[in-house]
């Protein structure tokens, strides 16, 4: 039984032919593009110009008037807030890895539209 991406590859080739360079395919993450390229190569008897691939995050960044904060700046901002409310804060170099994890957790909470108040109450 063909995989979903094999179905997608077959459909793209039937609809657009072997030159897919004018198309953009949006995936949740980057990994799926590797598997679609493989499925396209296997489904076509001739070489294929692959489509452009974007993640959902890249699409939103491209269309949004807002820009992402650089990861180092984000951790430093978080550290300044942390240091303001803690009597004896850790040094930035000790805090940094925890800050990255915390920002990633906040990002997951935001992406999955989790009720943060309920989540932190349960924790």
Q: Which two tokens stand for residue 91?
A: 């040094």
**Residue 50: exposure state from Cβ atoms within 10 A (0-12, 13-18, ≥19):** middle
Q: Are 48 and 40 spatial neighbours (Cβ–Cβ below 8 Å)?
A: yes
Distance between CA 35 and CA 37 in Å, rounded?
Answer: 5
Q: Are 87 and 79 spatial neighbours (Cβ–Cβ below 8 Å)?
A: no
For 99-115, the pLDDT digits (tens) are 999 999 998 898 889 88
Residue pointed to by tokens 């032919």: 17
Give the pLDDT score at 119: 84
Nearest Cα residue to 37 out of 61, 27, 60, 1: 27
pTM of the model: 0.64
For 65-100, the pLDDT digits (tens) are 998 899 999 999 999 999 999 999 999 999 999 999
Q: Which two tokens stand for residue 7?
A: 């179905």
């Amino acid at each position: 039984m063909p995989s979903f991406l094999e179905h997608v590859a077959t459909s793209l080739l039937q609809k657009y032919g072997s030159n897919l360079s004018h198309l953009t395919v949006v995936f949740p993450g980057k990994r799926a593009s590797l598997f679609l390229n493989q499925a396209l190569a296997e489904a076509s008897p001739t070489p294929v110009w692959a489509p452009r691939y974007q993640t959902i995050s890249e699409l939103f960044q491209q269309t949004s008037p807002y820009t992402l904060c650089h990861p180092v700046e984000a951790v430093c901002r978080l550290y300044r807030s942390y240091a303001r409310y803690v009597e004896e804060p850790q040094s930035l170099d000790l805090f940094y890895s925890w800050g990255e994890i915390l920002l990633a957790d906040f990002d997951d909470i935001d992406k999955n539209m989790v009720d943060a108040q309920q989540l932190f109450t349960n924790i």
